[in-house]
Every structure is written in C-alpha cells, then in structure tokens.
Amino acid sequence: MQDKKQDSIAKIKELTEGIDFCMLTTMDGGYLRSRPMSTQQFEFDGDLWFLTSDNTHKMEEIAKDDRVNVAYSQPDENKYVSISGRGELSRNQEKIDEFWNPAMQAWFPEGKDDPHLCLLKVSVEQAEYWDAPSSKIVQLVGFVKALATGQEADYGENEKITLK
C-alpha cells in the first residue's frame, strides 16, 4: 500500500512540477468559488502549500467547510490535474521562512512578520489527471481517424489516484 501511495505522490509531483498557477476551489454556502493561487515550490510529499492571508474569503470558507479542489493545467504540454483534499490554516514559521521570497512583499508589506501572513495547507486525498504528451498534429490525426472509423479518440493517459 505504501508503494502505491509513493507512486501516486511521485505522479502528482511529476504532473504539477513547473506549473506555478492553479485554481483553488472552495465551498461558499453551497456554491463553488475558485480563484488563482501560486503554489509554493517544494518537494511534494502529499501536501500542497500556499502563502496567503488569514483575513481572506477563502480562509473563512475553509474554516466552515475544509473540502477544496486545486486544478492545474499546462495546455502546451496537454497536462491537466484535478486535486481534491482538505484545507487548513497553518502558522508554521519554519515553512513560512522556507517559502518566503522578496516578491511576496507586495502582498505583505510587513514581510514575514505580517500578522495576517499564514499558510494554506492542502492535504491531498485524491487526484485525477489527463496527460496527452502527443503533439497537436498527432492528436489531430487521431481525432480525424476516430471520426472516420467511428472509434473513440485516444486522449492519452487518464487516471484517478488516491493518497488516503
């Protein structure tokens, strides 16, 4: 079981590596709300980390319902990943120090000592990915072939994986 979990972690790391921005979705009174977030660069171990402020709508929403989804896409590489898990506020100063960079000063003028600076930790439970490494020409040929033969087009690799 541990090997399968480690394989799943490695696959998610491989698919999300190099993709800076994602869409974080939270629940807001029964409605879904998404916003762009920048993932902190780190060695993925089953948790995603985001520097954020504790006085935002997303943190209020997560306090009420901790279920979140994080969606990554890299259209040029035909890679798409949908990650679901549980979000929580963290004030782990060691992690804040690890992820801090000077550009964050624009959002947190008081720097790492800003009283609202915190981390959003997403404990990943499941993920689904679509990975079609073929070029656009190969995909187009596959699409035309599928139309001509009546068979379903090959969209590449698609799999659901569970970390829990």
Q: What percent of the chain has pLDDT over 90?
A: 50
Residue 146: enclosing H or E segment and its boundaries?
helix 136-149
For residue range 3-19, what is the model confidence (pLDDT) as tens digits? 877 888 888 888 888 89
pLDDT top residue among 126 and 154: 126
Torsion of Cα atoms, 13 then 15 then 19 then 25, to 10°: -90
47 forms bridges with which residues in the sheet?
Answer: 123
Q: Express each pLDDT in 59-70 by its tens digit.
A: 999 999 999 999
CATH number of 53's domain: 2.30.110.10
pTM metric for this prediction: 0.81
3-state secondary structure of 128: strand
Are 69 and 84 within 8 A, CB to CB?
yes
pLDDT at 146 > cutoff 80: no
Instruction: Name the percent of the chain in helix, strand, coil, to the closest 5.
Output: 35, 40, 25
Q: How many domains does the chain fold into?
A: 1
Which helix (H) or strand (E) covers residue 37, if one does? strand 31-38
Predicted confidence band of residue 157 (pLDDT cuts 50, 70, 90): low
What integer is the mean pLDDT of 89-108?
92
Q: Which domain holds residue 62?
A: 2-162
